[in-house]
Amino acid sequence: MTHRLFSLLLALCCLPLSAQNGRAEKTLRVDYQFAGNAEHQYIALSELSSFKGWAGRSVNVDSLALHGNGDITLADARTGRTLYTHSFSTLFQEWVTTDEARSVTRSFENTFLLPMPADSARITVRLYHANQQEMVSFTHTVCPDDILIRQLDCRQTAPHRYLLRSGSPAEKIDVAIVAEGYTEGEMEQFYAAAQETVDAILAHEPFGRLKDRFNFVAVGLPSAQSGVSVPHEGSWTQSVLSSHFSTFYSDRYLTTLRLFELHNALTGIPYEHIIILANTETYGGGGIYNSYTLTTVRNPKFRPVVVHEFGHSFAGLADEYAYNDAYGDCYFADVEPWEQNITTLFDFGRKWQDMLSANTPVPTPVEGCKPTDLGVYEGAGYMPRGVYRPSPDCRMRTNECKDFCPVCQRAIERLIQFYTQED
237 vs 313 by CB, closer to Zn ion: 313
Shorter beta-carbon distance to Zn ion: residue 36 or 311: 311
254 or 342: whose CB is closer to Zn ion?
A: 342
The distance of closest approach from Cβ of residue 411 to Zn ion in the complex, given in angstroms and rounded to an integer, is 8
Chain residues binding Zn ion by CB under 5 A are 341, 394, 396, 405, 408
Distance CA 279, CA 282 (A): 9
Q: How far is the CB of 408 from Zn ion (least distance, A)?
A: 3
Q: How many CB atoms lie within 10 A of CB 16?
A: 14
Fill in the amino acid letter for 195: Q
How do 292-296 and 377-380 pair as beta strands? unpaired
Smallest distance, Zn ion to C-beta of residue 317, A:
7
Rounded Cα–Cα distance for residues 371 and 387 (Å): 19
Buried residues in 299-315 as b, exposed as e (16+ CB within 10 A): eeebbbbbbbbbbbbbb
Q: CB-wise, 82 or 399, nearer to Zn ion?
A: 399
Residues facing residue 82 across a β-bridge? 75
| Pairwise CA distance, residues 165 & 167, whole Å | 6
In angstroms, the CA 317 to CA 289 distance is 8
What minimum distance in Å lies between the beta carbon of 205 and Zn ion?
12
DSSP lists the bridge partners of residue 162 as 217
Angle at 309 between CA 174 and CA 43, to 5 degrees: 75
**Cβ distance to Zn ion smaller for residue 237 or 340:** 340
Buried b (16+ CB within 10 A) or exposed e, 214-242: bbbbbbbbbbeebbbbbeeeeeebebbbb
- Comparison of 43 and 405: residue with beta carbon closer to Zn ion: 405
Report in angstroms how near the CB of residue 370 gets to Zn ion at its nearest.
16
Shortest distance, CB of residue 403 to Zn ion, whole angstroms?
A: 9
Cβ-based nearer residue to Zn ion, 248 or 382: 382
Closer CB to Zn ion, residue 135 or residue 383? 383
Q: CB of residue 377 vs Zn ion: minimum separation in angstroms?
A: 11
Give, as one character, the DSSP assignment of residue 419.
H
Per-position DSSP letters for 254-309, written without gaps between them: -B---HHHHHHHHTTS--SEEEEEE---S--EEEETTTEEEEE-SSTTHHHHHHHH
As measured in angstroms, the least distance from the Cβ of 128 to Zn ion is 23
For the four alpha carbons of 409, 415, 420 and 423, in that order, the dihedral sign comes to positive
The least CB distance from residue 341 to Zn ion, in Å, is 4
- As to burial, measured by CB atoms within 10 angstroms (0-12 exposed, 13-18 middle, 19+ buried), residue 42 is middle
Residue 8 vs 203, nearer CB to Zn ion: 203
